[in-house]
Amino acid sequence: MKPGPLPRRLLVSHAPPAAFAPMTRAMLARLGYAILEPEDFERLGDADQRPDLYVVDERSLGELPDDGGAPIPIVVLTGRHGVTGADPRIVGAICRPAGLHELYRLLQQVLEDTPRTTPRVPTHLWALCEQEGREWRATVLSISENGCLLRSPTPLLLGSKLQLRLTLPRQGELHLPAEVAYQLVPDIGLVFSAARAHTRAALAEFVSQSLAA
């Protein structure tokens, strides 16, 4: 098997498996966030390597090591009442079991300079574009709950609006009002700012299924 790309971030978990929703850790690994058990992190064999962040069950906060270096941020997995106390290392909390989307948003906010709010997956989906009475086919190269990257044979103006119609394998056909937000030459980025709640839910489900496959 060909090895996958190295994760962008290494996280260490001090939480039992039941503190995570099913497949959350595997899906985050595909998004660049490897969540390792403490012993697996130690097996990496690099004495200078430090975790980017700890994911800790609130009942295990006392287990965290102190290597004398700069404080490592902590995300706490807890109950509905959140966290209390004044530990300056705690940057956020999520209700158990931690799901993909909630944990992803928090990790992005804490660790990334230009955070995303929703995960994105690569695709190769045909889409029908409609604008000012014209219709043409284009290809969706990646997609998230909030938007997509489109390869279109027809030029589109920045800031212009269009209707996008595409079919997802399990969710069926979706109609998406979209706006051209940016260029990533030769492709264009669309945002789904006016998408309805049930459409966003279908997109989020598709992303999760793609990551778990």
* Domain presence at residue 2: no
**Same domain (yes/no): 65, 129:** no
91 and 62 in a single domain? The answer is: yes
Mean pLDDT of 82-105: 84
| DSSP states along the chain | -PPPPPPSEEEEEES-GGGB-TTHHHHHHHTTEEEE-HHHHHTT--TT---SEEEEEGGGGGG----SSSPPPEEEEE-TT---S--TTEEEEEESSBPHHHHHHHHHHHH-SS--SS-EEEEEEEEEEEETTEEEEEEEEEEESSEEEEE-SS---TT-EEEEEEEETTTEEEEEEEEEEEEETTEEEEE-TT--HHHHHHHHHHHHHHHH-
pLDDT at 1: 32
Residues 18 and 107 in one domain: yes
CATH of the domain at 100: 3.40.50.2300
Q: What is the CATH number of the domain that holds 128?
A: 2.40.10.220
| Torsion of the alpha carbons at 7, 8, 12 and 16, rounded to the nearest 10 | -60
The CB density around residue 192, as the number of other CB atoms within 10 Å, is 21
Quick one: 90 and 139 in the same domain? Answer: no
Last residue of a domain, one of 77, 111, 145: 111
The CA radius of gyration of the chain, in Å to the nearest whole number, is: 20
On whether both 172 and 141 belong to a single domain, the answer is yes
Q: In this predicted model, what pLDDT tens digit does every residue of 7-30 receive, in sequence order?
A: 589 999 999 999 999 999 999 999
Q: Among 57, 90, 111, where does a domain finish?
A: 111
In a domain, 84, yes or no: yes
Give residue-wise pLDDT tens across range 94-142. 889 999 988 998 899 889 888 888 898 999 999 999 999 999 999 999 9
92/125 same-domain check = no
Same domain, 143 and 87: no
Does 3 fall in a domain? no
Number of structural domains found in the chain: 2
- Same domain as 103, residue 125: no
Is residue 1 included in any domain, yes or no? no
Same structural domain, 60 and 126: no
pTM of the model as a whole? 0.70
Asked if residue 4 is part of any domain, the answer here is no
Residue 163 lies in a domain: yes
**Domain of residue 60, residue span:** 9-111
47, pLDDT greater than 80:
no
At which of 55, 76, 111 does a domain end? 111
What's the pLDDT score for residue 169? 87
Q: What is the pLDDT of residue 2?
A: 38
pLDDT, tens digit, 9 for 90 and up, residues 152-211: 999 898 889 999 999 998 889 999 999 998 888 889 899 998 889 999 999 999 999 999
Judge if 89 and 136 occupy the same domain: no
pLDDT beyond 60 at 5: no
Do 86 and 124 share a structural domain? no
Residue 183 lies in a domain: yes
CA triplet 35, 41, 47: central angle to 5 degrees?
140
What's residue 4's pLDDT?
44
